[in-house]
Amino acid sequence: MFRTALAGLAAAATLVTGVAVAPSEPVLAASRVGSQTACERVWEYLPQTMQDDILAALALDGVEQHRALLAVRYAALHGAYGERVQLRARALQHRRHELWKTLPEQLKADVRAARSLPWPEQHRAMVAIRTAALNGDYGDRVQQLAERRQAFMEGCPDEIRSYLDDASDPLAG
């Protein structure tokens, strides 16, 4: 859904916003370099202004938070945080679109149905989808993707982990 920002931890906002960079194939979700996790490396990669915008958005609640994170993603995709972030955000967006095409139809139907709900119900539905994915209800491949994604997110800095723990992205963790 990386509907908001977390779009490749190419942009943690890409993480958190839809720009947050999710781990790519060559990057193991929980991989560490020294004492840093992959998520921490992505977060550090982001310009300070983007980190500040993400943290400000995360301080909001519900729909306001969602809208603020969408604004961060939009800004990243349109170059407001620099060309480097824009290129990563666009690449992440493309990967997510390609991945979406390969997901089971039932998962896509459940996500579409959840997206049509009002915010509080949408959030609960997305968390239920994430739980189902982690339990293997959508198949082994989706379960593996969800587990990798969760491992990546668990390695995130504390300042963004609280959002990720309750995020409505079904594959976020």
Tell me the two tokens of residue 141.
Answer: 């491949």
Neighbours of 30 (CB within 10 A): 17
Which pLDDT does position 19 carry in this prediction? 37
Per residue of the chain (173 residues), what is the pLDDT tens digit? 333 333 333 334 334 334 333 444 444 444 555 678 888 888 999 999 999 999 999 889 888 988 999 999 999 999 999 999 999 999 999 999 999 999 999 999 999 999 999 988 988 999 999 999 999 999 999 999 999 988 888 888 887 776 665 554 554 43
- The answer to whether the predicted template modeling score (pTM) of the entire model surpasses 0.85 is no
Amino acid identity, position 13: A
Closest CA to 79 of 41, 56, 50: 50
Which pLDDT does position 135 carry in this prediction? 96
Beta carbons of 96 and 2 less than 8 angstroms apart: yes
Beta carbons of 51 and 43 less than 8 angstroms apart: yes
Which pLDDT does position 32 carry in this prediction? 52
Closest CA to 94 of 169, 150, 21, 167: 21
Which pLDDT does position 116 carry in this prediction? 95
Q: What gap in Å lies between CA 100 and CA 115, rounded to an integer?
A: 15
Residue 80 DSSP one-character state: T
Which pLDDT does position 149 carry in this prediction? 87
Q: What gap in Å lies between CA 47 and CA 35, rounded to an integer?
A: 21
Beta carbons of 19 and 89 less than 8 angstroms apart: yes
Which pLDDT does position 54 carry in this prediction? 93
Domains of the chain, residue spans: 12-166
Which pLDDT does position 2 carry in this prediction? 32
Q: What gap in Å lies between CA 34 and CA 159, rounded to an integer?
A: 20
Which pLDDT does position 162 carry in this prediction? 65
Neighbours of 134 (CB within 10 A): 19
Which pLDDT does position 10 carry in this prediction? 33
